[in-house]
Amino acid sequence: METELKEMLSDLDNLQQSLSDPSYQASLAKMRSHVENLTSLVNSGQGRRSKVKDMSAEVVDSNPYSRLMALQRMGIVDNYERIRDFSVAIVGIGGVGSVAAEMLTRCGIGRLLLYDYDKVELANMNRLFFRPEQCGMTKTDAAVQTLSDINPDVVLESYTLNITTVQGFETFMASLTNKTHSLSKDGTGVDLVLSCVDNYEARMVVNQACNELNQTWMESGVSEDAVSGHIQLLIPGETACFACAPPLVVASGVDERTLKREGVCAASLPTTMGVVAGLLVQNTLKYLLKFGQVSPYLGYNALKDYFPTMQMKPNPQCSNAACLERQEEYNLTKPARDAAAKAKMDAEALIVTESAMHLDNEWNICVVDDEEQDKKDAHTHDVLPEGLVHELPSADEFQKPTAQEESFNSADDLEELKRQLEALNAD
């Protein structure tokens, strides 16, 4: 459109120079103003907003972050604006990944890395996000187009590649470890990887990359009949990796690719995929901004509105070498973690006593219900003396298993793992 409009302006220039009659000049000036109006409409990106320097909590209609910053005033999140420091990689920009990307973009995430090799088709229109006019574009290009219009504050990196190829895997690894945007020196260049792919092979590749890089990630999936799904948190060495408990179809030696027959496609629904994307990004926000409890595994059975949960410990016989390395590292740091957990519990006991004494409470009656205790657990770094926080950084992490949980012997673990494996594949 821009090209057509530029050419018309130059045509008008030529005509205006060659036609001296004032009656023509008026007509040409009118046309020029039409072309200029159209140009400004097109260039405005149809109303694209400019970037915002700081997230404001001001309650005005023009503030895109007012309802998010309100999470602080409501006591849910300590520092919402921290979200701008985080980088999240989303692998697979389909029915779940695209919606997850839109949610994170609207939440004002700092940086999104998007990976997909596929193109948008009309057959994708039964799920949210992509629009019919984007058919034929790569999913990554279409996503960048839409997301940058929605929130120009988010840094978007798009990788149009297949991570299951050698070349694709190399670029994938290099992009995850690029620390240009990273504030901390530890870890990779991203804070979380979200797997939103639709096949076992690609999941195993994400698993391999995250095990090698010691990168925490979340897995998501939707069944072929479109009426169930799940999300799962994977922390290398600490939780089961994707190879620790493979799906039954793979465990029994069937190649998934031979299961897909020509002309047969999986069913899908925008509802199931929207729910799974919502649960995935909600847990991403809880993980990054440290509020609530991050679910280790959460299933969604749409027919019965049933949401199974479970925890999966790593398999000491896992076939993935990098997983075994991470398990060993995790076990080596166990005494330090136990000590930190104990110190944290002691410190909390102290706070409960102290705060009870400082309450504006004539009779010194103090009721601490479960929910309040949970909140205290999540926000301990608010109340702890400053020095204590810096001495116990790892105790501030979420979902540490208790010493008792870890004292299972490995035979029990395998029995448990088998049961969980069956449960995982049942839905």
d(CA 280, CA 257): 26
Residues between 289 and 308 with contacts to its own copies, criterion CB under 8 A: 291-293, 295, 298, 302-305, 307
CB of 172 to its own copies, least distance (A): 26
Q: By CB under 8 A, tell whether 265 contacts its own copies.
A: yes
421 and 251 Cβ atoms separated by less than 8 Å: yes
CB of 160 to its own copies, least distance (A): 18
Nearer to its own copies, 99 or 392 (CB): 99
Catalytic residue among 265, 318, 323, 366: 265
Binding flags for its own copies, 38-57, as an x/- string (CB under 8 A): x--x---xxxxx--------
Residue 57 burial (CB < 10 Å; 0-12/13-18/19+)?
middle
Q: By CB under 8 A, tell whether 309 contacts its own copies.
A: yes
CA 394-398-399 angle, 5° bins: 115
Residues 6+ apart with CB under 8 A from 109: 83, 84, 86, 88, 154
Sequence letter at residue 129: F
Residues between 167 and 226 with contacts to its own copies, criterion CB under 8 A: 224-226
d(CA 246, CA 34): 63
Q: By CB under 8 A, tell whether 257 contacts its own copies.
A: no
Q: Has 265 been annotated as catalytic?
A: yes
Residues between 83 and 102 with contacts to its own copies, criterion CB under 8 A: 99, 102
Binding flags for its own copies, 319-358, as an x/- string (CB under 8 A): ----------------------------------------
Q: By CB under 8 A, tell whether 409 contacts its own copies.
A: no
Residues between 118 and 177 with contacts to its own copies, criterion CB under 8 A: 121-123, 125-128, 131-135, 149-151
Given strand 155-160, what is the order of strands in its sheet? 155-160, 111-116, 87-91, 192-195, 217-222, 228-234, 297-301
Sign of CA dihedral 279, 282, 287, 290: negative
Q: How far is CA 76 from CA 8, 69, 71, 93, 294, in A?
A: 55, 10, 5, 29, 14
User: Could you say which DSSP state residue 258 is in?
Assistant: H
189 and 177 Cβ atoms separated by less than 8 Å: yes
Q: By CB under 8 A, tell whether 233 contacts its own copies.
A: no
Nearer to its own copies, 110 or 189 (CB): 110
d(CA 117, CA 143): 12
Residues between 8 and 37 with contacts to its own copies, criterion CB under 8 A: 8, 11-12, 14-15, 18-19, 23-24, 27-28, 30-31, 34-35, 37
Q: By CB under 8 A, tell whether 268 contacts its own copies.
A: yes
Nearer to its own copies, 189 or 299 (CB): 299
In the list 62, 364, 404, 407, the residue contacting its own copies (rule: CB under 8 A) is: 62
Q: By CB under 8 A, tell whether 393 contacts its own copies.
A: no
For residue 198, which of 288, 287, 272 has the smallest C-alpha distance? 272
Give catalytic residue positions: 265
